[in-house]
Amino acid sequence: MLSFRPHTNTIPEVFGPRRGLISFVRSESNDCIKLETPGLLVSTSRGVVPHLSRDNLRRTNVIRWINVPFESFLERQPPLPTTLPLQPLLGFDPSRHIIALSLRDPNDLRPIPPNGDGHVSAMCIRGVQRVSPSSYKTYVRDSKPDVVFALTDTCLSAPPHSQKRMTKSIDRSCDWLRNLLSSSTGAERSRNIFVNLAGGGSAGARRAFAARLVEPLEPKDLVDLHPLQSLDEGISGYSSDLASLRASVLLSSHDELSGLIKDSLGSLSNAKARIATGSRSPHECLRLIRDVGFDLFDAQWAVNAAHWGVALDFRFPVPSRLRDRESLDIGHNLYSEGYAEDFRSFIHPTEDVISLEESRCRCSACSPSFESDILNHSPSLDLSASHDTTAQPFTRAYLHHLLQTHEMSAHALLMMHNLTVADDFFAGVRSVLEAGPGNFNDEIALFEKVYDESMMVMATAKEAWGTVDKERGKGRLAREQQKAAKNDQQPVVQTESTPQ
């Protein structure tokens, strides 16, 4: 079972920064996974953490909570995870990883047909698939995730949405949650369920959905959901999909965003975990921790940075040597020619540490290590005593070369590094909160001053990534042939004429 325990010295009445501990105990093995909050979670594509093979995933010790969108498996029937539970199928470590299942990827905002009373539209590689609540409950039962996100009727069409549409969204979301909670056995109901806070960009609709969660069940539902007295009693926590929330309403400030989330959480328990997906930057994460009190973030910005060739390089709280600086990039665009001969590691050594070793990033790219056991080819040749398990860090110049040559290993190294930087960022948040939340606001203001929130380095790197992908990626030969034809540079094939 999954439990969340806020630390008593940091828990606010309803909203505000807080520290906590998520614990998950497996009944079959008694393995206990602990995740300190605020912390990060990682999403997958077709069950794979982007850019990380299984061995590199095991080397990345910062990954503990993994989200698996089920829609990526819907191209075949029955879906593959229904033939074998998610943990053994996807090769994750049951002693280290919490596997959460959702139907849709919360960061996918591609146009999609609207949901119906009896189905949710999902996107897979073969197009749109309709999934009924009963089918989803079957998928959950067969794939056996540790955590499941209930179906929610999210409005992805262009705003504004009518009151009738919002009412229908709330009714459907409550009905689908009720369907997921109603099971023939208590063991199935004991699964850890998180619910997305419905209501879109309407403050009234969000408050109405929260009220529906905590109101007493109707007599006809008390039998099916016994011993629950309300829908909220069967929920382990709440999630907010920030990407879809921004798409549902035109937000001009952070206060509007946090205000809508507070409309949902105001009447709900503050003793349950809160998850935010779709955060745009570490700056936004800090403000959501301060103003709302979120516990887990998907840190999609760190994944995007790895995809676009950016090595993150920032810290919270801001190191003393940088406190007088302004508008620094949060990372390095390693596509830039300025890194072609830069043989430093991804992170600058800081002056406010005792030694260089303490300033080095602990990821497998900056602090690579190897297995201590080696294979001796002869009994007389034993190299165990002289075997060094450490190596020099990968350099910016080396990553620049890998990126320019379109090598996949570049993104694997960046992914391990960026997730570690993001995890250290949240560890820094926890350390500031542990010392006392009074200084937290000042540290946020300093972080916003020192590091550029517009993240122009990401936009520049994305453009460079697109250029290299076009020059060296899939379909390059076809594009070159089209370009040659357009410029009338097609080769002329001469044939020898046959004499008459």
CB 3 within 8 A of CB 22: yes
Please check the confidence at residue 496 and state whether its pLDDT lies above 70.
no
As a whole number, the mean pLDDT across the chain is 87
Looking at domain 2-298, which CATH architecture does it have? Alpha-Beta Barrel (3.20)
CA dihedral 169, 171, 175, 178 (to 10 degrees): 110
What gap in Å lies between CA 211 and CA 213, rounded to an integer? 5
- In 334-455, which residue ranges form alpha helices assigned H by DSSP? 356-359, 396-404, 408-435, 440-450
pLDDT digits (tens, 9 = 90+) for 444-494: 999 999 999 999 999 999 999 999 988 887 776 676 667 777 766 554 444
Name which of 86, 93, 87, 95 is nearest 33 in CA terms.
95
Q: Where are the beta strands (DSSP E) in 158-279?
A: 192-196, 237-241, 273-277
Secondary structure class of 98 (helix, strand, coil): strand
Q: What is the pLDDT of residue 171?
A: 95
Cα within 13 Å of Cα(125), Cβ side: 7
Check pLDDT > 90 for residue 214.
yes
| In the predicted structure, residue 342 carries a pLDDT above the cut 70 | yes
What's the CA gap between 181 and 226, in Å, rounded?
A: 10
Kindly state the tokens that stand for 436: 């006392």
The rounded distance, in Å, linking the Cα atoms of 261 and 281 is 18
- Tell me the C-alpha distance between 13 and 175, whole Å: 30
Domain extents in the chain: 2-298, 310-369+390-482
User: Side chain identity at 222, as an amino acid letter?
Assistant: L
Report the distance separating Cα 17 and Cα 437, nearest Å. Answer: 7
User: Pairing between strand 310-312 and 331-333?
Assistant: antiparallel
pLDDT greater at residue 403 or residue 393: 403
83's tokens? 């033939």
User: Cis peptide leading into 69, omega within 30 of 0?
Assistant: no
